[in-house]
Structures are given as structure tokens and as C-alpha cells.
Amino acid sequence: MPRGRYSLHDPHDHTPLGEEHFHCAPGPSGWRYVAQTTTPGGDHRGSVDLAVDALGRPIRLELNAAGWQVRGAAIDGVTWVRTDPAGAEATEGNVAAPGFTGTSPAFLIATARLLRLTPGAPATRIRLVALTDPVLAPRTVDQAWALVSRAEHPTDSGPLVVDEYRVTALDTGEVHTVHIAGDVVLSAPGIELEHLETPPSSFTDGEDDADGDGFDDFAD
């Protein structure tokens, strides 16, 4: 079960945005990612709890940031409820899209699981609902993903398979590169893996699932 820490920064001017302390686990029913986010000064900023099914579809999402909260899932596309900091009102949304995206590296893993791309194949277009910082405002984005290469690298704990993706924002034409190993993002625009306690998990690992919920057991 990987545990570690990402540093987050603005992908354009590299302004530090804070850190994301995470742990994640695959299981027979899919994959779950839980994280706490902090400001550059170390104060609590928010949290991420994302669970996807075996096909990569979001079966549960809860994001918290700046007092705002979003809960969502794959229902008739994706459906979500966004609540304001005062808790006075909540707004609902629904888009014919297969998943969400946002600042957290968890969304890159989930999108890669949704697409199941083949190295060298043509790019695949996908529509996602982006929950943008700092107030988790939803907007629909279209991207094109291509799996450029898959390479095996020797490590002390065995071979590490790294996938290199080319991701294109179809509204602006901006292209960036994402490197993923198992269920850990090694690097992406605005994201750097700073610390990893255990190697990434593969989605074929037979992990223990003591309570039968389809995921490894770990504290929220």
C-alpha cells in the first residue's frame, strides 16, 4: 500500500501550492486514494477521498478545500453536490462524462485506468469534469490522452514499469507529459513525487481485504 507525499505547484509560474500526503490501495473492486493537503506553510488545506471501480469509474468522491465540499459519483455520467463553506446551500450538477479531474494526482491515475491505453496507439479523447482550486468550481474539459511509451526500470525492490502519457488540452492545444508507475504519479505538470515509503502497487496485485469492501484496509 503506497504512502507518500507530493509537492504541488502552479504549472506555469511554479508558485508553491502546498503538499499532498497520501496513501492508496488497489482491491478486487477497484482502487482507493485518501490524502490530506497542506498549504506551503504546513497548515491544513483540505482532503481527497476517491474510490474507483475496476473500470476506473468514480464510485465515490469527496473533496474538501477552503471550506468548500464536493461529493460525487458516476451516476448518469457523473453527478455531484457542491456545498458552500457556510453550509447554507448546496448546488447539484450532472455532466455526460466518465470521470472527474482536478489538482490531485489521484485523478491522473483514475483517468489512466478509465482509458486503458495501448502504447503507440492513437490518442483517445475524453471529457471530464474539472473541480478547480481554490473553491472546487466545476467545469467541463476535453482532453486527448496517448500512451507514448512503457518502459521497465530496475530498482532495489524489483522492476518498475513506468508509463509515459501525452495529455493534450483540446480547448487550448496545450500539451504536457505525465509519468505514472502503477498507482503513483512520478511527475506531471504541477506535481512532483517527493517521498514514497513503499513501491507503487499494480492493479493486478492480490491485496488483503479483511472487511470485504473491495479495498485494502487503512485509516481514513
- Check whether the bond before 134 is cis (ω within 30° of 0): yes
CB 34 within 8 A of CB 220: yes
Burial class from Cβ neighbours inside 10 Å (0-12, 13-18, 19+) for residue 3 reads: middle
Please determine, for residue 107, whether its predicted confidence score (pLDDT) is greater than 80: yes
The pLDDT confidence band at residue 27, using thresholds 50, 70 and 90, is: confident
Residue 99 vs residues 10, 12, 66, 107, 207: alpha-carbon distances, Å: 23, 25, 23, 9, 25
pTM score of the predicted model? 0.90
The pLDDT confidence band at residue 111, using thresholds 50, 70 and 90, is: very high
Give 118-168 pLDDT, tens digit per residue. 999 999 999 999 999 889 999 999 999 999 999 998 887 778 899 999 999
pLDDT at 212: 38
pLDDT at 204: 62
Residue 3 vs residues 41, 101, 196: alpha-carbon distances, Å: 21, 21, 6
Burial class from Cβ neighbours inside 10 Å (0-12, 13-18, 19+) for residue 88 reads: exposed
Give 1-24 pLDDT, tens digit per residue. 899 999 999 988 999 999 999 999
